[in-house]
Chains A and B, each alone.
Chain A
Amino acid sequence: MAETENRAGQPVADDGGDEDVLVTPQGEKLDMSITGTMNLDAGASSPKTNPDRLQSMKFAVAGLLYVLKREQSIQIVSIISIVVVVLGLWVGLNTVTWALLLLALGAVWVTECLNTAIEAAINLATDEVHPLAKIGKDVASAAALLSTIVFVLIALLVLVPPVLRALSGDAA
């Protein structure tokens, strides 16, 4: 078995064959092939992961309540969501347009929640200032910014024409 080093200077086992295997410091072999990941058992590394569906749902609701209470941006997103839905009901959108608008709105909620989750994971990993922590947090919030910009774009694309029509209809 030939020993080479990866970029972090850690020894990497090379079987010499076509099998792609890395060895953890604990001596555990990591199969790097396509089927390698699905053979890993998360329960072996993190005993707190829960398999109960009802329980998972409870945690999800708990997480939603957390972001609603603690994340200022989610509170603004909630208000915008209500405004947009009211506006959509007022001008009477068709099904596909509703789907588009709700999808774009959903993306904002999803990225905000994932942003908060990643931030928590990073804060958990270290409470020191670290370049990787900055990258992780900044890039996650960039995803949230992106989804917000795209939501505004889509809201303009699908809401402005019918709103203008409704307004001019009122004036006529």
Chain B
Amino acid sequence: MMTKNDWLDSVTSTMKIDPDQYSPITSTSRRSSFGYALAGWLYMLRRQKNTRIQAVASMVVVALSLWLQIDYGQLAVIVLAIAMVWMAEFLNAAVEAAVNLATADLHPMAKVGKDVAAAAVLLGVVASVIIGVLVLGPPLVARLGLGG
């Protein structure tokens, strides 16, 4: 039987770990962290074809939203939906790099890691498409006069 104290000890155990003890390369300056984030962004745009397609699609959707003059709240929803795909795509690429770094060999857990990260992207895309249709569909139909 676990006592209350044991539980508290185990919950607080992780925060007592000092990362500097293991990883001397972790950046501490905010400015350089920001620079690394931009570097990662440029890498994705340059090396990942999907990210470039995504960039174009994002701009098209934002332009469409502005053209349809949806309200600020709806625009916020669209922006969030687009961002969700970008985030998933970036984290997927990061996980993929981490897995490739861990082992150059084929390994079942490498497959699980990569496939599950890719599933997150798929999930983000499906949710975003549904949100896009829900928010932009009605005003688009009205604007095109398809409603009759």
Contact = CB atoms under 8 A, between A and B. Distances in A.
Partners in one complex: yes
Binding site secondary structure of chain B? helix
Contacts of A126: 101-102
B56 interface: no
A145 B37 contact: yes
A97 B76 CA distance: 9
A157 interface: yes
Interface in A111-153: 111, 114-115, 118-127, 129-130, 132-133, 135-147, 150, 153
Interface in B66-81: 72-73, 75-77, 79-80
16 contacts: A10-B105, A58-B11, A70-B18, A100-B76, A122-B98, A122-B101, A123-B23, A125-B98, A133-B25, A135-B97, A136-B101, A139-B97, A141-B33, A143-B90, A157-B79, A161-B72
Contacts of A130: 101
A50 interface: no
- The A interface, classified by DSSP as helix, strand, loop or mixed, is helix
Given A37-B111, A65-B11, 8 more contacts: A24-B105, A58-B11, A66-B14, A100-B77, A126-B101, A130-B101, A132-B100, A140-B94
B36 A127 contact: no
Interface residues of B, number: 59
Q: How large is the interface on A (under 10, 10 to 19, 20 to 34, 35 or more residues)?
A: 35 or more
Interface centre among A133, A142, A146 (most CB of B within 10 A): A142
A45 interface: yes
Of A61, A69, A96, A122, which is in contact with the most chain B CB atoms at under 10 Å from its CB? Answer: A122
Contact of A111 (B34, B87, B101): B87
B137 interface: no
Contacts of B125: none
A28 interface: yes
Contacts of A110: 87
B3 interface: no
B12 A65 contact: yes
Nearest to B83: A150
B61 interface: no
B15 A69 contact: yes
Nearest to A143: B90
B13 A62 contact: yes
